[in-house]
């Protein structure tokens, strides 16, 4: 046998056998190589993978009653949220689309006019030039009276007016983050900001002063520095200072702010700390969530068993559903006064209003879901001798559970719709109090 292990000897032996027995020449059969798993070296080339992927048929985007693949569904789900945000941002930040107002970066008081505009107020594009021209007219009158020496008013009254004019620089200082909001209340720091602006050592990036306003700051500082290089209220000029000319940026309407304003305002609101009786935003959310979920859970604790019984037994259906179907059309806010009288003026009437607005619809929806259970399942259980309680426990409840979860999800959204009205009755609180203020 060792002799035959050599390939040459094996071929010679096969030739001798074929001659001896007069048969066709025998050939040595070479076995196939053993199967080797794909390793990093034996894997197909990337180009082969790409060809195989391209050969797979892709799901059409518009196919009648055909489901999209997972990647297409994920893409469309993301677009359903992104498209409204993109449209909102496009309308908000494209100058020629829709900016009917001008949002004031800083303002000034007009002479003999009681209406006062503050930074952040919105003026129509038609009225803003009139407002700016009124301030320029006041400045021209101030300059003319100063040159002619016809300044009217007491020295103390003029100094108080000059302090107000000096404070008009506050939104510029806070907007460019030269000062914090708390620091901006100190007149000495505002006095220093005026000096640095006049000397050109400060340059605004977010709120930039126009050349006209830079000249006004320089002329005012020339008068202020003659009296005192540092802030002393009694050493302020006793002649009126010129007012800053209001500046603004194109803006949407106040009830439709830009996406950036909403984000910045949201960050500001969520970072505020509770002060005194004013709760923080997280405390407001906690209060509103407590009202919604207590009302909904109470409605579900009573409504789900009642709905299952109505959907299972015709006796309960005819006993409860006619009244529930009639009563569900009653507007829940109509009971607000009665609820306050019964439960007093704290959270109890709010929870009760969410309960009334959710309970009656919940019973009917759960009863209808129970009736849609396949009757063959009930017949099979009864054939096997299941009793009524066992049928409900082992067949009906497990059978309706998937649809019941979906019903609860929809009805929880229904409960949220009653939150705003619920938090308005009795003592206002939660998110509704914040939205109203």
Each residue's pLDDT tens digit, 107-118? 988 877 778 899
- Mean pLDDT calculated for residue range 166-177: 91
What six digits make up the tokens of 50? 């790409």
Neighbours of 220 (CB within 10 A): 23
In this predicted structure, what is the pLDDT of residue 116?
A: 86
Among 391, 234, 245, 249, which Cα is nearest to 313's?
A: 391
Question: Predicted confidence band at 433 (pLDDT cuts at 50, 70, 90)?
Answer: confident
> Is 5 a residue whose pLDDT tops 50?
no
What six digits make up the tokens of 151? 């300044």
Model pTM score: 0.61
SS3 label, residue 134: helix
- Mean pLDDT calculated for residue range 282-311: 94
Mean pLDDT, the chain, whole residue set: 85
Q: How big is the chain by its Cα radius of gyration, in Å?
A: 41
> Is 134 a residue whose pLDDT tops 90?
yes
Chain position carrying tokens 């059969």 = 29
Percent of all residues in the chain with a pLDDT value above 70, rounded to a whole number: 86
Task: Give a three-class secondary structure readout of 247-282.
Answer: EEEEECCCCCCCHHHHHHHHHHHHCCCCECCECCHH
SS3 label, residue 199: helix
Question: Predicted confidence band at 185 (pLDDT cuts at 50, 70, 90)?
Answer: confident
Q: b or e along 114-138 (b: 16 or more beta carbons within 10 Å of the residue's beta carbon)?
A: eeebebebbbeeeebeebbeebeeb
Where, residue-wise, is CATH 1.10.3720.10 in the chain? 281-436
> Is 224 a residue whose pLDDT tops 60?
yes
Q: Cβ-count burial of 432 within 10 angstroms (0-12 exposed, 13-18 middle, 19+ buried)?
A: buried
SS3 label, residue 323: helix
**CATH topology assigned to domain 281-436:** MetI-like fold (1.10.3720)
Question: Predicted confidence band at 18 (pLDDT cuts at 50, 70, 90)?
Answer: low
> Is 47 a residue whose pLDDT tops 70?
no
In this predicted structure, what is the pLDDT of residue 155?
A: 87
> Is 235 a residue whose pLDDT tops 70?
yes
- Mean pLDDT calculated for residue range 216-231: 91
- Mean pLDDT calculated for residue range 274-293: 87
pLDDT top residue among 252 and 414: 414
Residue 409 backbone phi and psi in degrees, to 5: -65, -45
- Mean pLDDT calculated for residue range 10-25: 63
- Mean pLDDT calculated for residue range 36-51: 51
Question: Predicted confidence band at 437 (pLDDT cuts at 50, 70, 90)?
Answer: low
pLDDT top residue among 397 and 279: 397
> Is 39 a residue whose pLDDT tops 60?
no
Q: Which of 33-47, 142-156, 285-299 has the highest mean pLDDT?
A: 285-299
């Amino acid at each position: 046998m060792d002799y035959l292990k050599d390939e040459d000897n094996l071929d010679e032996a096969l030739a001798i056998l074929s001659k001896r027995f007069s048969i066709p020449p025998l050939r040595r059969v070479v076995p196939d190589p053993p199967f080797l798993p794909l390793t990093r070296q034996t894997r197909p080339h990337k180009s082969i993978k790409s060809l195989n992927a391209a050969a797979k048929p892709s799901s059409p985007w518009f196919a009648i009653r055909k489901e999209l693949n997972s990647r297409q569904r994920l893409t469309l789900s993301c677009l359903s949220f992104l498209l409204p945000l993109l449209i909102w941002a496009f309308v908000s930040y494209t100058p020629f689309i829709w900016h009917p107002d001008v949002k004031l970066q800083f303002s000034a008081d007009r002479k003999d006019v009681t209406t006062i505009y503050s930074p952040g107020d919105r003026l129509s594009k038609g009225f803003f030039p009139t407002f700016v021209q009124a301030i320029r007219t006041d400045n021209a009158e101030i300059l003319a009276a100063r040159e002619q020496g016809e300044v009217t008013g007491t020295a103390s009254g003029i100094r108080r007016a000059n302090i107000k004019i000096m404070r008009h620089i506050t939104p510029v200082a806070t907007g460019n983050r030269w000062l914090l909001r708390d620091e901006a209340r100190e007149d000495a720091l505002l006095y220093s900001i005026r000096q640095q602006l006049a000397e050109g050592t400060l340059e605004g990036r977010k709120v930039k002063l126009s050349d006209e306003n830079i000249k006004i700051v320089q002329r005012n500082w020339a008068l202020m520095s003659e009296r005192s290089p540092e802030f002393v209220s009694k050493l302020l000029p006793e002649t009126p200072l010129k007012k800053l000319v209001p500046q603004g940026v194109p803006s949407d309407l106040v009830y439709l702010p830009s996406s950036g304003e909403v984000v910045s305002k949201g960050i500001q609101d969520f970072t505020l700390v509770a002060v005194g009786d004013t709760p923080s935003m997280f405390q407001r959310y906690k209060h509103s969530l407590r009202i919604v979920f207590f009302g909904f859970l109470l409605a579900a604790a009573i409504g789900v068993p009642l709905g299952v019984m109505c959907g299972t037994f015709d006796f309960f259906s005819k006993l409860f559903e006619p009244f529930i179907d009639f009563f569900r059309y009653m507007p829940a806010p109509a009971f607000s006064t009665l609820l306050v009288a019964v439960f007093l003026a704290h959270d109890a009437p709010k929870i009760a209003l969410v309960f009334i607005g959710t309970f009656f619809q919940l019973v009917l929806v759960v009863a209808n879901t129970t009736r849609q259970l396949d009757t063959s399942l009930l017949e099979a259980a009864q054939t096997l001798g299941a009793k009524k309680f066992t049928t409900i426990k082992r067949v009906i409840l497990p059978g309706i559970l998937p649809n019941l979860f979906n019903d609860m999800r929809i009805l929880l959204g229904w409960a949220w719709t009653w939150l705003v009205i619920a938090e308005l009755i009795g003592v206002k609180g939660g998110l509704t109090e914040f939205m109203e203020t």
